Amino acid sequence: MPSSLEGWGVTTAESLDEVIDVVDVVYMLRIQRERMDAAQMPSLREYGSLFALTPERAARMQDHALLLHPGPINRGVEMVVDPSMVPGSRILQQVTNGISIRMAVLFSLLGGDATTTLSNGAES
């Protein structure tokens, strides 16, 4: 997190428990320990106690709240609950759509034509 978020129009929280029952989207991310300074990174136990999505925390989510995670999931670290058991989970759709988006971007970058001919001869 930047040292100063003043003027960004955001509110921060020190733990998931502070906000889990009021947010519309819970967006989990994988810990990338290989990219973090060990001095700034809590232990996995401390991280889990503050931020892991447990069954208890998932039960506190609003009925309409969505659960997102781009994958891969470190089970038992950022996600203790089975994400498929969370009613608002959109993780599978998010990962599926992400693959399609990356394919389209790569196609475009590699010189793909803006119009594509489908297998039935129609243009899209």
Is the per-residue pLDDT at 35 higher than 90? no
Question: According to CATH, what is the number of the domain 16-109?
Answer: 3.40.50.1370
Residue count of the chain = 124
Is the per-residue pLDDT at 116 higher than 80? no
pLDDT at 67: 98
Average pLDDT value for the chain: 85
pLDDT at 60: 97
pLDDT at 117: 55
Q: Is the peptide bond before 72 cis (omega within 30 degrees of 0)?
A: yes
Neighbouring-strand partners of residue 68: 27
Residue-wise pLDDT for 58-94, tens only, equals 999 999 999 999 988 888 889 999 999 999 999 999 9
pLDDT at 57: 96
Q: Which residue has the higher pLDDT, 72 or 41?
A: 72
Share of the chain above pLDDT 70, in %: 83
Give the pairing of strands 66-68 and 25-27.
parallel
pLDDT at 21: 96
Phi, psi of 102 (to 5 degrees): -65, -40
pLDDT at 27: 95
